Chain A
Amino acid sequence: MKYRKLYPLILSGLVLGCAEKTPFESIARTSVAKKTTTLRSPAVPDSGSAPRAQPGDTKVKTCSAEFPSTLRKKTKAEIGFALEDLTGYAFFPVQRILASDPGTSTYPSSDGDLSWDKLSVSKQVEFAESVALRLQRDLKFQRLYSPGGVRSPKIFVSLTAQMFLSGQASPELLKELEATFENSGSTEDEKFFTGVRASVFRLILDPMFLYDVPLNNQRTSLSTAKRLASFIWRSIPDKDLLLAAASNKLTKPQDIDLQVERMLADPKALRSFHGFVRDWLSVSALSNTQRSAAAFPEFSPALLHAMERDLLFQMTEVLYNQDKPLSTLMKKIPDTVDVELAPILGFQKTKESGNVKVELPPERTGILTHPAFSTLLSVGDGPNAVKRANYTLERFLCITLPPPPVEGGVFKATSLPVDATTRDKFKVHSDNPSCAACHSMMDGIGLSLERYDALGKHRIKYASGKEIDPSGSFKGAGLDLNFKDVIDFQLKLSTVGASQVNNCFVTNVFENAVRSKLDDSLACAAEEVAKKTAQGGYKTIVKEIVKSPAFWRD
């Protein structure tokens, strides 16, 4: 990193302090008149008897720009990425140290919960201490903030504080941090190292580092920079963004467009995309998978890693590099796959490593057949059709089903023969009114995936010898589909169901952008974005979301 450009700005008094109030006239949130739009409701039946909106129902929603103001805690990933960007080190054990942080969950926007309990704050203090200790004597880190190799507490403090706090370090804080270099030891080295440690510790715990503060109708160039960095990089602004903010180069839409283009071209955007995919698809849960060696001799942690790697590759290739919509992946996945998946996908493994170009068999058409999903959505050594269906509905169609009813819906296995198929079991559900509503949406999808075992290998028969019938139907989200197998199902999703799939992807990206579930107003905004990005992938969606006033809400 080179801070030469930033350095004179900071030292010449153009400190990006809290007082910065650059008007954000062109795209500032305005009192947009309420307008109405038709929003497709993902409403689903519940388990009770009260009539519920049926899938595909529509209702009129208000697309409003009146948004609540909320403080948002940065996610563990954001803190980790920010420290990586600030220090040049990617090894900070954020996940381990903050593993018990109750403010994080998995899906969809892992960090919506702001309730930090005392343990969590205590963990944060420990974490700050460990990072500060690590950097105390790290000359590589210190050189980043010592322009020209000159070791100066004043310059070091100025640069680190403004970078850590995104230009919001007050003059008082700078003086306070400088003082730690004066009173910290008997030798110059001792003073400097302890000053570094004290400064880093202090900065990491600062609310401006740990929280995203609401804009409060006072959107500034600085807050624009922070929000862009949070969304596109899952990190904090770099020097170029801060400089742009300091020089009022983030006030016009075209200025922002330029920055967004630059940011999307930065590897940090791909890192962020991978993080988003991991959250969206719960890919990290793969590492917890276990299979018996008797049933799956090919199972290994390395295989799980290969699945995760390959899934990220497929997603990256189509959604990110080609910038194509998600429905594209339903039709066909790239024919370049991880060589370690050879025993699963059924091609001959070569001596090559990494990705190899292969001709995939027809049963591998479409992303839903990816072994990562089959593996993730199995229990023990057996596939779980309910989990697979639920997951598909939730992650690719944004339909969340309620939990099964407490009474009346318990599946009574004893009423079926031991070699009963999944279809036989589902039949029991469908015959039970309290189960039928949801199972009518789930069963067809679950059954269509039955031909993939608990590691994703293709099969045509159950262990009992009975042939697997992968045909099914799906009615919901405005779709009424009959299909002969999952390939056919995906083909239909990529055509008549493309807008539903792509809208759902936009919803997920939007949730990632605002780090929360979408309320009606945001859902409305997401739909607007979806309309404008029907042919585009992740990057196109990101650019469009940034243009949406809803993205800039507090």
Chain B
Amino acid sequence: MSSALGLILAPRNLFGLLDGKLLPISESAQAASAATQKKLVTMYFPNGCAAEFWNLQHSLGPLRALHDQGKVLLLQNVRNPLSNDSPRDPHEEGGASLFTGQSLVDGARGGGASLDQIVSPTWNKDTPLGEPLVCAVWRGFAGGSFRSTSWSRRSWLASGHPANPIQDPIDTYKTMLGLSSNSRIDLWRKSALDSVIQRYSEFSSATSKLSTSDKSIVNSHMESLREIEKSAANFSNIAQECKTVKEKGPTFQGIPPDTSGLLPYASFQRAYRLHMDLVALALSCGITRSASLGFGCAGEEFIEPSISPSLPDHASSHYDSEPTKAIYLAYRRFHLDNVRYFAEKLRSHSILDSTLVIAGSEFADGRTHEKQPQPHVIVGGGDFVSSGSVDVAGRSNNDLYRTLLQAGGVTLENVGNKKYNTPGEIKGIIK
């Protein structure tokens, strides 16, 4: 039985370790491999960003340093052509099209697969998770509603089928190590399977008294178990590789539970950053090569006390005065600072250049619900996308997504709604 077992069974212990105490894992072969494999992460922030703030002087200020280091591709004038396809709320329409390029379908659901899911079959086929790691924190519009539609989902498996995000960082961790899913095998299961396979092997050995036909039955059974066990072995290796400390560090005491019952943690920021830590770790360890991170739902009403003690994000987006407009801007900077945080985390794992982070929101100005331009910024991915700023001059988000996928080696005729795809890549993006 692996010595890593104790850690696995006490996941909360790890959060302390994630909090600034990660040791570099670049020495490992797995990390070296992860550093070169292409990876993609979508990051959502709520309530849009007014065009006048979509620059490095305002909302994107937190990314300036990264921009100057050639790690950011700022996109201007991205058009969301889908936003008039349905009579639904602009939050919904924009949220559904973000990262999918598809319109809403019945029940206010996303109309097609999102980027993290599109690349998954190819990029994740040999990863233990085999699918994107989808994480989000939200309380909900007006304090809890719209929690099951395009208001809150940013990863879509297919039209009308959201990938439900993990909200509790502990569950993210468990998912990474396969503790929460029957389809994943943790270490004691792997050990048990090893033992069972050995038993079947004895049965079918040359010295066994079974007939030839019986041995073939046992062999067939054993091979099936081996295939199942193989995924366990992957997890086991990763658990070893991702065991980022040599001895146990301080125990994370946990974030106070949310008294409203709507969130696993009262602090959005704390929970979200833990998700970001874990997603970065998962990407660096090769557990998955695509992920979706979502901060809040469309119309999110969370309050960040350091910005305003009483005015929530969504309320500030309907600013009617300069002071509230300033709060709205502060919330934008807050969200883009989370993008910066994630980029830095990726860099600490030496995977920033191999990881394409696409951050965006549902529409432009929160006050008017103006849909154009739809905010998009690319961070990382320097191995295959350019940096700096590109004015896409009204090309659709479909064209943008198609171009980004092409940069990552995924060439598709159309992404999202076919009618909004126009021929040719968007210039200045592919490296």
Contact = CB atoms under 8 A, between A and B. Distances in A.
Interface stretch (B223-231, B237-245, B312-320, B382-390): B223-231
B9 interface: yes
Interface residues of A, number: 39
A70 B214 contact: yes
A127 B427 CA distance: 54
B431 interface: no
Interface stretch (B85-93, B155-163, B203-211): B203-211
A428 interface: no
A202 B192 contact: yes
A375 interface: no
B195 A129 contact: no
A543 B52 CA distance: 92
B220 A116 contact: yes
Interface residues of B, number: 31
Contacts of B218: 71, 207
Interface in A180-231: 180, 182-186, 190, 194, 197-198, 201-202, 205-208, 213-214, 216, 218
Contacts of A410: none
B224 A201 contact: no
Contacts of A36: none
Nearest to B1: A183
| Best-buried of A71, A186, A190 by chain B (most CB within 10 Å) | A71
A420 interface: no
A205 B1 contact: no
A69 to B, nearest CB: 5
A122 B195 contact: no
B199 A71 contact: no
Nearest to B7: A186
Contact of A185 (B10, B199, B200): B10
B270 interface: no
A125 interface: yes
B221 A116 contact: yes
A185 B189 CA distance: 15
Q: Is the interface of A mostly helix, strand, loop or mixed?
A: helix
Contacts of B2: 183
A238 to B, nearest CB: 24
A118 B227 contact: yes
A184 B199 CA distance: 23
B214 A206 contact: no
A118 B228 CA distance: 9
Interface string A101-143: 0000000000000111110111001100110000000000000
B224 A116 contact: yes
A173 interface: yes
A68 interface: yes
A202 B195 contact: yes
Nearest to A18: B202
Contacts of A285: none
A194 B8 CA distance: 12
A130 B196 contact: no
Contacts of A214: 209-211, 214
Contacts of B214: 69-71, 214
Contact of A186 (B10, B182, B199, B224): B10
21 contacts: A69-B211, A71-B211, A71-B217, A116-B224, A121-B225, A122-B224, A129-B189, A130-B182, A183-B1, A183-B2, A184-B1, A185-B9, A197-B188, A198-B189, A198-B191, A202-B195, A205-B225, A207-B200, A213-B203, A216-B209, A216-B210
Interface of B: 1-3, 5-6, 9-10, 182, 188-189, 191-193, 195-196, 199-200, 203, 209-211, 213-214, 217-218, 220-221, 224-225, 227-228
10 smallest A-B Cβ distances: which pairs? A121-B224, A71-B214, A183-B1, A202-B192, A216-B209, A198-B188, A118-B224, A205-B196, A185-B9, A114-B217
Given A121-B221, A180-B191, A182-B1, 8 more contacts: A71-B218, A180-B192, A183-B6, A185-B10, A194-B188, A198-B189, A202-B192, A207-B218
